[in-house]
Structures are given as C-alpha cells and as structure tokens.
Amino acid sequence: MSAIADNLQAVRARISNAAAAVGRSPESVRLLAVSKTWPLSCVVDAAEAGQRAFGENYVQEGIDKIASISGRNLEWHFIGPLQSNKTKPVAEHFDWVHSIDRLRVAERLSAQRPTYLPPLQVCVQVNVSGEATKSGCAPDAALELCRAVAALPSLQLRGLMAIPEPVDDVQAQRLPFRHLRQLSERIQAAGLPLDTLSMGMSHDLEAAIAEGATIVRIGTAIFGQRSSGNA
C-alpha cells in the first residue's frame, strides 16, 4: 500500500471514531482530500485508494490537475480565496466552491457556470474567529449573503464553511465550530435549507465532527507536510 493509502485509512478511522463518539454515523461525514501543492501523482494514488472528492486552493493549479485527470469521475472542490477576476475557470471546471464570501463573486460564478453542467454547489465562508487576516463574511452578514446566493440560478447553496484560528485544546477548538453550527441553524430557521457544514482540518477534525461537520477538509494528514512557503 502507498503511504497515501495508509494515511487515508488512518484518517477514515479518525473520522469514524470521532463520529461514533458523538453518536453520529461515519457516513454522515464526507472526507475532502486537500491536494493543493501536491503533484497529480498524489491525487492518482489517493483516487486508487478510493478517494473521490479533492480540494484545491489555487485556480491555475486546480484546473491543471482537473484537465490532466479527466475520466476518473472525481469531484473537485475549490476551497481557497477567490478573486472576482478568476471566477470563470472555477465556474467551468469545479463541482463545488466552499469560499463564497461576497455576493459579487457568487454572481459571477452563477453567470459563468456553463448551462450544460449541473448547478455549482456552494458554501458561504464565515469568519468565526474574527481575525482581520482570514477571509469569510462576518457572522452578522451571513444570512443576507445566503439569501442572495440562494436566489442565483446556477448556484446551489449547500451550507457554511469556516477556517478557525488553529488552537491545540480540543474544547477550545470546538467553540468556533459550534458557532458555525448555531449560525447554520439560525439560517435554516429563517427558511433556507442547508445540509452542509464544511469545517475541520488535519489538526481539529475530531472537534469539528463533534460539532456537526458534514465535510472535513484534510490535507497534511493524507499527503504529508506541505513544504515551507506553501499555504
């Protein structure tokens, strides 16, 4: 077995254990393998080990990989910051976007989504830690942005995404995830059907699953440590 296949098995076991610990079924949590900065051969290794959904942060790198690996029935998720002048290739080649943080980007993605493709599946990214450096809309602005995104014809609003500030303590990790879940519940109570909470990375997937994550985005624990300089 390749190292990547071993790592995938270990991550799947962490997901199952974390789900079982809070009485959730392991199938209620999807694993997104974050392949940013890793070569195509790593994606192929993971795909051969049964991994289907992959996450990329950089537009050019992502579409290069998608173009060179067509025919394997993989699902591609864009999870990085998205500038409005780079939306077109994302609308044309990805299946999901997790990082919608303003209406202009969503409007462009909807207008540029080819009609022969299903709607782009999207999450609104929320800044739950309140740091100036992280992207994501303010929690207060999330309901209004969700309403506007849900009204766009070629997007399907699925839920919320967050990247909390990294901390070591599991109880402390749970707080921002809980806030995201509560925000999602409020948005659902306002009449928008959301089924996705995209939260949890290599170091905090247990805390995220305990708070209701339905997609965890895992890079390092599958592919290894990214070299310095890579995000």
Ligand X SMILES: *Cc1c(COP(=O)(O)O)cnc(C)c1O
Residues that bind ligand X (CB under 6 A): 34, 36, 57, 79-80, 163, 201-203, 217-221
Smaller CB separation from ligand X, 9 or 220: 220
The dihedral sign for the CA sequence 123, 174, 214, 133:
positive
Q: Are 82 and 105 in contact (CB under 8 A)?
A: yes
Smaller CB separation from ligand X, 153 or 230: 230
Smaller CB separation from ligand X, 70 or 218: 218
Smaller CB separation from ligand X, 87 or 198: 198
Smaller CB separation from ligand X, 40 or 190: 40
Longest dimension (CA), the chain: 48
In the complex, minimum distance from the CB of residue 190 to ligand X, in angstroms, rounded to a whole number:
26
In the complex, minimum distance from the CB of residue 121 to ligand X, in angstroms, rounded to a whole number:
16
Angstrom distance (rounded) from CA 54 to CA 76: 5
In the complex, minimum distance from the CB of residue 220 to ligand X, in angstroms, rounded to a whole number:
3
Angstrom distance (rounded) from CA 2 to CA 61: 23
Q: What are the backbone dihedrals phi and psi of residue 164, each rounded to the nearest 5 degrees, phi first?
A: -65, 160
In the complex, minimum distance from the CB of residue 149 to ligand X, in angstroms, rounded to a whole number:
18
In the complex, minimum distance from the CB of residue 153 to ligand X, in angstroms, rounded to a whole number:
26
From residue 194, alpha-carbon distances to 103, 176, 181, 199, 225 in Å are 18, 18, 11, 14, 33
